Amino acid sequence: MRGVPVRFGIQVAPVSPEGAEIMGGLWPPPQVGRASAIDTPATGRLSLGPLEGGLGVEIFGLQVALVDDALFRPVRAAFLAHQLLLFRGQDLAPEAQVAFARRFGQVQVHVMNQYHASGYPELYTLSNLDADGKPSGKHPDRGTLAWHTDGSWQRVTGQATLLFAERIPATGGNTGFADMYGAYEALPPAERSELSQLRAIHNLNFSRNRRHGEEPMTEAQRNAVPPVDHPIVRTHPETGRKCLYLGDHAECIQGMDYEAGRRLIDDLNERAVANARVYTHRWRPGDFMVWDNRCLLHKAESFDLAREARVIRRCTVLGEEPR
């Protein structure tokens, strides 16, 4: 076995609990409840503090629009180690958000182009404002109100999502995050083994219309993203850890009776969140969050759509086909 590598002042354990090397990550994560730091050549140290409940960290004193190649490496390490990163007080123009997203990989251009920001097809804008800039009373995307992972409806799924808050309601409109590493590890070994043999069918059209009595996708959009199958248990390609991979885009189980598959998915989604570490983020304008879609579920909370404004812009970075 190779010696333990040291990158940017962090000693990185050569293997994770699942037996795979973490390239550039922090393993094990710093103890919950304590601040930590990452050494960087450019700034000396990157200061981290745990978020409430122990899922994710806040990175202090860093403007992501100014991050260069050297500083991105420890940010990426923190992303892999902690799954969820918060940067507050950001001055982040749309082009800077897209540029930072490209550091993670290829940025998705979402098939639902009605959400594209003007001039930036990589940005997916969620806003309840009407043409006069006033609250419309309509939710921009009700599918976000259920636990899901971005991009699971594609063969090449979402890696990272990067979300910037422009306008935030005084109450409500929070976002919850749930740890699917822990959800998997909470399952009995026999159930883990059974689930590892199953694949779920993920379908964007299903998740966008099944609860809401709406048809937000055109026929052309539906045809562009046909349903795809993915394993219910996936191995994270960079940490080597196993996690549950379902969420609201999962419609049915391959080879299983449809209704039986629906019951299994609903049960697993409910138990996964109940067993997971969960963090609920109360947004402030200028907040910027980055999370790992491969091992987290997330959902938005509702708010007073007729009286409050909420404007969020999002990038999703593509990853790989789940294995």
- pLDDT tens-digit readout, 118-147: 678 889 888 888 888 899 888 877 778 899
The type of residue at 14 is P
The whole-angstrom separation of Cα 33 and Cα 51 is 8
The whole-angstrom separation of Cα 165 and Cα 286 is 5
pLDDT of residue 213: 63
The whole-angstrom separation of Cα 245 and Cα 297 is 9
pLDDT of residue 45: 66
pLDDT of residue 2: 32
pLDDT band at residue 223 under the 50/70/90 scheme: confident
- Return the half-sphere exposure (C-beta side, CA atoms, 13 A cut-off) of residue 130: 9
- Asked whether the predicted pLDDT for residue 227 surpasses 90, the reply is yes
Of 228, 316, 312, 292, residue with least CA distance to 75:
292
The whole-angstrom separation of Cα 292 and Cα 111 is 21
- Residues 220-231 as b/e (b if ≥16 CB within 10 A, e otherwise) read ebbeebebbbbb
Q: Cβ distance 201 to 250 under 8 Å?
A: yes
pLDDT band at residue 109 under the 50/70/90 scheme: confident
- Asked whether the predicted pLDDT for residue 212 surpasses 90, the reply is no
The per-residue pLDDT for range 151-175, each reduced to its tens digit, is 998 999 999 999 999 999 999 999 9
- Estimate the share of the chain in helix, then strand, then coil, as percent rounded to the nearest 5: 25, 30, 45
Q: Taking residues 33-62, what's their average pLDDT?
A: 74
Count CB neighbours of 137 within 10 A. 11
Q: Taking residues 89-110, what's their average pLDDT?
A: 93
SS3 294: coil
Contacts of 106 (CB under 8 A, 6+ apart): 317, 318
Q: What is the mean pLDDT of the chain?
A: 84
Of the listed ranges 6-20, 69-83, 177-191, 288-302, the least confidently predicted one is: 6-20
**Percentage of the residues of the chain whose pLDDT score is greater than 70:** 82
Q: Taking residues 222-250, what's their average pLDDT?
A: 95
